Structure 1
Amino acid sequence: MFEITIGIDPNIAQVGPFLLTWHGLFTALAILAALPIAHHELRRRGLELPNFDTFAFFTVIGGIIGARLFYVLDHPELFADDPLRVLAVQEGGLAIYGAVFGGFVTVFLLSRIYGQPFGVLADSIIPGLLLAQAIGRIGCVINGDAWGGPCTCLACSGARAAVPGGGGLGYCPFAFTYTHPDAIIPHDLLGVPTHPYPVYDIAVNLLVLAVVWRLRGRSLPSGALFALAAVLYAVGRFFISFVRQERVWFWGLQQAQVVAIVAGLAALIALIWLLRRPSPVTTPAA
């Protein structure tokens, strides 16, 4: 096991009231990477959106609002002393499931408003969304807002002794050790080797993307590709969350795991229904 020490300042620069952070930078890069993929997939499926910019803008806004809402609900103690900090999304603190939920609801509403097929929209968005999530997690690696629990391997034992209550969460293939005082990771984990949780999440996103990319040319009911991706990601997210150190909701499960179960079951039911109902399938161009 080897450690990667991350002592980078989460903030890149500040000009007046504008604060540029690594998390904000990679979030912007993630959005820029996802939009052309979504646009290409829509055209490949024969859907020309004359108002693509409107869809893209409001979907991004909806995703950011959902991501921030989920994070604040899971970490209310971080905002108790400074409620206005809730608005400082560029600092980090965006929950991926919140982003998916917010974007999902936004796309559904826009599809109803503009009379567009929701299933085709969802299938076209999912490849770019998965890539965006992977890119966005790079910002989490730097600022520590998606931290893993402390490792229990022998090489980590000295640092782990400083963690209140001791303990740990198993062997790490490698560990992140955050040292910058402004990192979002809890201060009792500063200097402690922790599971590289964002890397695990990047791997899950890229693996699901590989499956989606391979199946995107197949004849599937509209919406089935999105539902399948949701099921696969939920399974992966559930298991990698065991190495996190988050607030337990119930049954020994964390928020992300509870959401993964609910979202995964809902997506599985939707996938089975889509595959079994007699309806025309979409056959995208190669």
Structure 2
Amino acid sequence: MHLTILANIPSPPQGVWLGHIRAYALCIVAGILVALWLTKRRYVARGGNPDTVWDAAIVIIPAGILGGRLYHVATDYDKYFCDTCNPVNALKITNGGLGIWGAVALGVLAIWVMFRLKKIPMAPFADAVAPGLILAQGIGRLGNWFNQELYGRETTVPWALDIYYRVDEAGKYAPISGRSTGEIIASVHPTFLYELVWNVAVCLFLIWAQRAWKLGHGRVFALYVACYTFGRFFVENMRADEATHVFGLRINVIVSVVLFSVAVVIFFRLRRGQETPAEVDPRYHAQTHGGPAGPGDNPVPASGRAPGSVA
């Protein structure tokens, strides 16, 4: 029994420093930076304009945060709009609470509008962003660890997560903003860690699959949605936090099933093969290579990768 306790994963003693610096927000920022770095490498390697990535970041970051918060508030409205609740808390994003479904949905819509205005194909960018996006989600899950939230049911497995009792300066219970007293409330399944590991695995799988299967035309993004929702279905069923239920099931379980089914259908219906560099961004290709852009310009070799391309 003593060895099991030693093997448990400890929660951080606090998730807020200096009264304002929140680990949750830092994890989100770190995830965004990593996603931008990886997306830029992948999109440029496929023939895209690097400036397009920065333009997309300006659009997708605020849209993603807004969409994520709207989804969370909509599906957990009882936490913000009840007789004893303060609706202003719905605006406090750093306290935790971003729904990935809403973030991706509004982010995709915003990017679709941007690419329509720029008259650039969106599918190559979506494929470039997919691995970085799910890697960012994994990094963001560390924020749940600092906040001691979204964990699973109690367990005795050696890798159980110890949830500490936290209090504020006045000695009142404050699970997110307080400091640990050292008292363990419960030992639970670290579902944040399960999803983090799954997300990293999916990121590596997407990079491999695009090369091995020569995926393009949005199929990498569809595969991302299918893989993420497949893993999320099992992790969601392990969680013990309060959640909105529909037909007796957690709403995120239902959303996972629906999105997985849709993503699989889309994956098999989308066009096979990869875009040539000229098809990724015709105008940029014409500027950098000279002459009119066409579907036959600089075709991707049999390896499925443009010359000098990286993952």
Structural mapping, 1:236-275, within 5 Å: 236-245=231-240, 246-274=242-270
Structural mapping, 1:56-135, within 5 Å: 56-80=57-81, 81-135=85-139
**Distance in 2 between the 1:74 and 1:39 partners?**
33
1:11 aligns with 2:3: no
Equivalent residues of 2:151, 2:189 under 8 A apart: yes
Equivalent residues of 2:11, 2:161 under 8 A apart: no
Q: RMSD across aligned C-alpha pairs, in angstroms?
A: 2.2
**Distance in 2 between the 1:272 and 1:63 partners?**
27
Specify every segment of 5 or more residues in structure 2 that has no aligned partner in the other structure, as ranges.
167-172, 178-183, 276-303
**Distance in 2 between the 1:73 and 1:199 partners?**
25
Q: TM-score, normalised by structure 1?
A: 0.82
Question: What is the letter of the counterpart of residue 10 of structure 1?
Answer: G
**Distance in 2 between the 1:176 and 1:45 partners?**
45
Change (3 A) 1:51 1:226: closer
Secondary structure of 1:179's aligned partner: strand
Secondary structure of 1:221's aligned partner: coil
Equivalent residues of 1:10, 1:182 under 8 A apart: no
Alignment-derived partner of residue 175 in structure 2 = 183
Write the deviation string for residues 127-175 of structure 1: whole angstroms up to 9, x where unpaired.
1111111111111111023222233x4xxxxxxxxxxxxxxxxx67423
Equivalent residues of 1:231, 1:263 under 8 A apart: yes
Question: What is the letter of the counterpart of residue 182 of structure 1?
Answer: A
- Report the number of matched residues: 257
Structural mapping, 1:190-209, within 5 Å: 191-209=185-203
Deviation larger for 48-57 or 257-266? 48-57
Write the deviation string for residues 104-142 of structure 1: whole angstroms up to 9, x where unpaired.
222222221211211101101011111111111111111
1:281 aligns with 2:285: no
**Larger Rg computed on CA atoms:** 2
Specify every segment of 5 or more residues in structure 1 that has no aligned partner in the other structure, as ranges.
154-170
Secondary structure of 1:227's aligned partner: helix
Aligned-pair distance for 1:49? 4.6
Q: Percent identity?
A: 26
Equivalent residues of 1:216, 1:284 under 8 A apart: no
Aligned-pair distance for 1:222? 1.3
Secondary structure of 1:192's aligned partner: strand
**Distance in 1 between the 2:165 and 2:11 partners?**
6
Aligned-pair distance for 1:215? 2.0
**Distance in 2 between the 1:176 and 1:263 partners?**
33
**Distance in 2 between the 1:89 and 1:113 partners?**
30
Question: What is the letter of the counterpart of residue 247 of structure 1?
Answer: A
Aligned-pair distance for 1:52? 3.1
Question: What is the letter of the counterpart of residue 305 of structure 2?
Answer: P
Aligned-pair distance for 1:12? 1.5
Write the deviation string for residues 233-256 of structure 1: whole angstroms up to 9, x where unpaired.
111100111111233523432121
Alignment-derived partner of residue 154 in structure 2 = 150
